Amino acid sequence: MFDVKELEKIKAGKKKWSEGTLAKTLSKAPEKKAKTTWSGIPVETLYTPAENAGLDYESKLGYPGEYPYTRGVQPNMFRGRFWTMRQYAGFGSAKETNARYRYLLGQGQTGLSVAFHLPTQAGYDSDHPLSMGEVGKVGAAIDHIGDMRILFDQIPLDKVTTSMTVNAAATALLGMYLSVAEEQGAKYDQLGGTIQNDVLKEIICRGQYIYPPKPTMRLTVDLIEFCQKYVPRWNSISISGYHIRESGSTAAQEMAFTIADGIAYAEACAARGIPVDSFAPRLSFFFNAFTDVLEEVAKFRAARRVWAKIMKDRFKAKDPRSMMLRYHVQTGGVTLTAQQPLNNIVRVALQTFATALGGHQSLHTNSYDEALCLPTQGAVTVALRTQQIIAEESGACVTVDPLAGSYYIEYLTDKIEAEIEDYIKKIDAMGGTLTAIEQGYIQKEIQNSAYLFQKSIDSGERAYVGVNKYTMEEPPVTDLLRVDMKVGEEKAKELKEWRAKRDNAAWKKSLDKLREVSKTDTNVMPTVIEAVKAGATVGEVCDVWRDVFGQYRPKEFIS
């Protein structure tokens, strides 16, 4: 971007400044400690064109909506329309959650995002012994198609787009969703949304796995293949770095390990014989946003460039849409503090600002009370308004990729890109993502970063407002949102009635068929849909596969 002569001049100028003007200041007031990004990348006092010497504009940045998509996947980004504001929500019963959805849609939210309670995610019914105490706690208790009907009562599924956070049990829940949409009169090809369906990160760090890696990947690909044929507007996977970051990774590791997972899914789809340009445009991603605005912006730009290169060079994609890294963001849950919780509003605002400058497709903003409990309605409203303020008032959305060309941002983008590519090389050399996970490599890398971060907080080397600096005594927060234990009892009673009133013969036949199909190479999705329509519960569908596939028991790696 800069000619050689000019660069030489700038290099000399910076050296002179560093040894003169800067040195004089530092001799009087030395900097106490080395400066780094929040993830620990060393940061210099000043960035100039000299640190951007390798930056070729056309090949590395280019234009938004064009390869390598560093500057964004759409030509005019938020000038055309803002991102989808999508708040992840769900608690208690399907009925309570339906009320929260209708409230959020009434407040200008533009998409839904379903939080299922842990039993649903782990493939257990609400009355299973392992569900004790968990029913309705961190999401809605959805056991069967009847619950799904209530969840979307009076919400037209051909109009809203819905994101569903469910992975190992994804096929069963998508089956219910598609069936309810059909009952409402919608056609499969009118439905838009996303299902997380990313089982690898469950094994790496999120913990909602059910089956061993190979069969669980088979279900993932069955769902992707089914959607590619029949639900063309559906994002059939959301490859997630969010939880990797929450577990303690650095920003670069978040992108590296997510992209490594993405490669594994793309390879599995290709092995199934699906042409790359048929599945790749429907691969979507999900990332975190922390408070170090500049590091986050660089991280998003770097990941777009790396993914585009991988899809083009490694997977030989031809369709530009296959090369676009499209992603949802959630602000960093783990960055929120239980101390002085109102401070979290500021953190979320900065994280939202970073996300907007980074150029995303949809966003969930956390509520300030989430280090204490599930978000209360008032806190959720502030979180949604934060997105609206950044979108409408901050100036982040009036031009595309506004930080491009900043010497620091471009340096950091290159630096993170190099770190991502380094990890991908290492993982390839190990034999691929699944092997790296089996060996605990990825898990240990993340845990080590979490450890180093904690050490820096404990020692006070890194300041955390309200936690290890600027602390104060404060009264406990009351009026927290609570889910009554009664939800569990009521759900158990309701399940009993559900099982008693369904057509027993049809139900049994559908599950027997599912068992047979699962033992073959045939795609399970159509049979799953038959089973949930016949009244089979999440737990019953997942139990069939527990029998056929076995259950995953992880090795624990403590590092």
Partner 1 sequence: MAEKKIKIIVAKPGLDGHDRGAKLLSRIFAEAGMEVVYTGLRQTPEMIVEAALQEDADVVGLSSLSGVHNYFFPKVVELLKAKKLANVLVVGGGIIPLEDIPELKKAGIAEIFGPGTSTEVIVDFIRSNVKAK
Binding residues vs partner 1 (CB under 8 A): 118-119, 121-122, 124, 129-134, 137-138, 202, 205-208, 246-248, 334, 337-339, 371-374, 447, 450-451, 454, 457-458, 464, 466-468, 476-478, 480, 483, 485, 554, 556, 558-559
The reply to whether omega before 68 is within 30° of 0 (cis) is yes
- Name the residue nearer to partner 1 (CB basis): 6 or 458: 458
The DSSP line for 180-231 is: HHHHTT--GGG--EEE---HHHIIIII----S-HHHHHHHHHHHHHHHHHH-
Which residue's entry shows tokens 């590519």?
421
Provide the angle, in degrees to the nearest 10, between the axes of the packed helices 441-458 and 407-430. Answer: 140
**Cα–Cα distance between 232 and 255 in angstroms, integer?**
27
- 8 Å CB contact between 523 and 540: no
Query: At its nearest, how many Å lie between partner 1 and the CB of residue 151?
Result: 20
- Element at 548 (helix H, strand E): helix 538-549
Query: At its nearest, how many Å lie between partner 1 and the CB of residue 461?
Result: 13
- Name the residue nearer to partner 1 (CB basis): 398 or 485: 485
- Name the residue nearer to partner 1 (CB basis): 454 or 504: 454
Strand bridging mode 234-235 / 327-331: unpaired
**Cα–Cα distance between 121 and 42 in angstroms, integer?**
39
Query: At its nearest, how many Å lie between partner 1 and the CB of residue 344?
Result: 11
**Cα–Cα distance between 487 and 135 in angstroms, integer?**
7
- Name the residue nearer to partner 1 (CB basis): 75 or 378: 378
- Name the residue nearer to partner 1 (CB basis): 3 or 556: 556
Query: At its nearest, how many Å lie between partner 1 and the CB of residue 539?
Result: 13
**Cα–Cα distance between 144 and 537 in angstroms, integer?**
5
Query: At its nearest, how many Å lie between partner 1 and the CB of residue 208?
Result: 5
**Residue type for position 190:** Q
Is 321 in a helix, a strand, or coil? helix
The DSSP line for 104-123 is: HHHTT--EEEEEBPHHHHTT
Query: At its nearest, how many Å lie between partner 1 and the CB of residue 558?
Result: 5
- Name the residue nearer to partner 1 (CB basis): 442 or 525: 442
Look at residues 63, 69, 62, 23 and name the one whose alpha carbon lies nearest to residue 46: 23
Query: At its nearest, how many Å lie between partner 1 and the CB of residue 331?
Result: 16
- Name the residue nearer to partner 1 (CB basis): 53 or 132: 132
Query: At its nearest, how many Å lie between partner 1 and the CB of residue 409?
Result: 29
- Name the residue nearer to partner 1 (CB basis): 126 or 161: 126
Query: At its nearest, how many Å lie between partner 1 and the CB of residue 78?
Result: 33
**Cα–Cα distance between 369 and 172 in angstroms, integer?**
32
Tokens standing for residue 300: 């998003």
- Name the residue nearer to partner 1 (CB basis): 372 or 544: 372
